[in-house]
Structure 1
Amino acid sequence: MAESVIERILARVKVILELELAIIVERGREDPFDLEDLPAINLRRASSTHEAFGGGTDRVLASWSIEINAAGPDWETTADMLHVQAHAALSNDAALAALGAGLRCTATDCRSESSEQIVGQLAASYQMQVLSHTGDLGRRAR
């Protein structure tokens, strides 16, 4: 089964985060992480755009979110530190750069809840541009 250029990007992002941060990284997780598993990351595909670029090529703006979950009174500091490390790792990965161009963090959002222990999440939104063949979402145009 063929995968899209977006899925290839997300697969590489997951590998980078696992290698560089040495914490749990999951894709599209719906259930909250257990406290003993934190900090942990949930990687989510977001809405992406496809525009005609000409000559049988589409410009795809691949979008995703890195949800960094942490616990404790300093959860924001922990999540921020992990985001800085994640961003540096993504920005310096040659294999990811070969899949597209213009990697950008476009926004961050924090939210928390308190029960027995404070648990929070820093969600960092990312985008990357890819040129793909109009008739084949799995093939990058050169």
Structure 2
Amino acid sequence: MTPVMFLAVAAGGACGALLRYALSLLIGAGFFGIAGPMATLSVNIGGSAMMGLLAGGMAAGLVLPEPWRLFIAVGFLGALTTFSSFALDAGSLLQRTGQMMSLVYICLSVGLSLLAFGAAYMLAG
């Protein structure tokens, strides 16, 4: 990793985090008449769609310099939503190994994450 690559991730992360915060204020405040988890759902869906466009474009031959790929995929989308990375991993598993491994990964990711959250919540309380 070169300094340019680190800067690309950091700059992308800053942009993604700022957009996520702005959207959480806009949507979470009920600007569209909805509140609560809708902001999280919105950034997860939008970020996953953006990751799909990037991955699909690159699979179809889009040439993106490494610093730009890091800026967009790792920094921006990583800060906007970690769900986009989850979707990319699940989709990659589906393509490489088939439905079963992808389904196992999805169930383990969601189930164990919720279990870890619940256990940590109980420990903290």
TM-score, with structure 2 as normaliser: 0.28
Identify, as 1 or 2, the structure richer in helix: 2
TM-score, with structure 1 as normaliser: 0.25
